[in-house]
Structure 1
């Protein structure tokens, strides 16, 4: 049984759709009247599509059930969006996106870096369908990085308004490899992660409740001074030390990153009570050194600055004495 499956109660005539799995082998189903009932799994039987077609053919008077694509307002399975990692062998694992809902999902799956994002997959993931994204090496698990999934909910015709789903995921080995089970639709063992598990469907705002909240007295919390991280005594501003994407940057972008790092580390040094800090900026064409000296000359918390460690860096480093 999977979320979205149509089931029948064994000892009664009610039919419904599985919406959630609860504890102790209890399943929540939504019957046609819109009510949701907790039922023991052993009290349910899955209604197969073949069975439905057979009995409709015998009666001859009922029209065939429409597919998920053509059903304008039959949203029954609200949740069931998964990232499924299916092992291919002892070295590789395949990433699939699974949509086990009745919604069509215009979506994008990306991986962000410091200044860019890498697109992995995008398009429209149809209701009750899946798509393979890519193969991953298990040995590179720690380097997989962060996955960002964004989607809208769409169906033809009228449907309840639904907020977009935005999910940011970074997997940890101690939990990732413990969550292995059958992937919906794919029917294969997979390390499964449900993207919409914690999503809350917004409810209409009650006017009286809102009014009461507006007049509640909120006790001010005591202010806690932020703890400032003490920087290293020597800060290397060479661009390859600051970003892995330096090969994609032009000169102006590099200078911008270097100056922002310089200012951030200088302010941290001042806030944390350091007496001095040294910045390695290199010689180059002198643009970075000149701009750093210009800003130091106007800073109210700088006592003086001078070229540092000339025997090691030449004129490629500046020591700053803080007031």
Structure 2
């Protein structure tokens, strides 16, 4: 190869000079032009001295006579950079296999900020929902930020590229943070790479956002609480509330099969959450109906559900005392709560 790291080269299509900072494969290199790094094909660059020797020297032209009243022309204003959002950019790096075919080995992942705003970001890559790689950093305005390399073979494991952005200079009218995720299916990935080959392009990208979002309007705390309650329960006038409540229970069975028919698709955390929510519901009903006792069947198991319920009961002011003793019907798998009013 006629080029080496650090060589000064001329970008033919833009007539700009840059420096070679990395070799991607036998057809492409990474160049740096005034602090901006991007990949180019070898046939798109040349040594700048070829241009200097090949250009004909301009013959000296006589300087036109100037008059006192001639006005100096102003320098043309610089062309503003185009803002088109923040992107997740992928650069496929290929190699040739033993049969002479070009095979993609890895993807170089870049965060491209084509806006006038600098952002702090948290990045996470996960496969099948499990975290694999994390990074925190800052991307400046109109900067191409290299994140890491991802083996191409791993892209068939349901990759998820997760970002959380925040402003380097916070603004009162803007959101405190913004989250977005890109999930790529293998079929989509192969189609994008085939499109690159057909169009002779170097990279493909996914847009993360166009404009950083504004801050959501603040809601009245009381109204917000009522709105949240109305999503789960019917909300009535306080004076008429009791007659709309469902009857209280003296015994509540929290075994998961008693609460749902879909337990096989739930995680341990989801099942525990459902059981504790049910406990809270019937505890509140018992208190509202001035019930003297309430028996909670939690089973024995590992004791996790029992301990969570006991911790909650210790903090409730309506509880006089509670006991978890042997019961002829439930063994040690139930707790009896006695109330005080």
TM over 0.5: no
Larger Rg: 2
TM-score (norm 1): 0.39
Per the normalisation by structure 2, the TM-score is 0.37
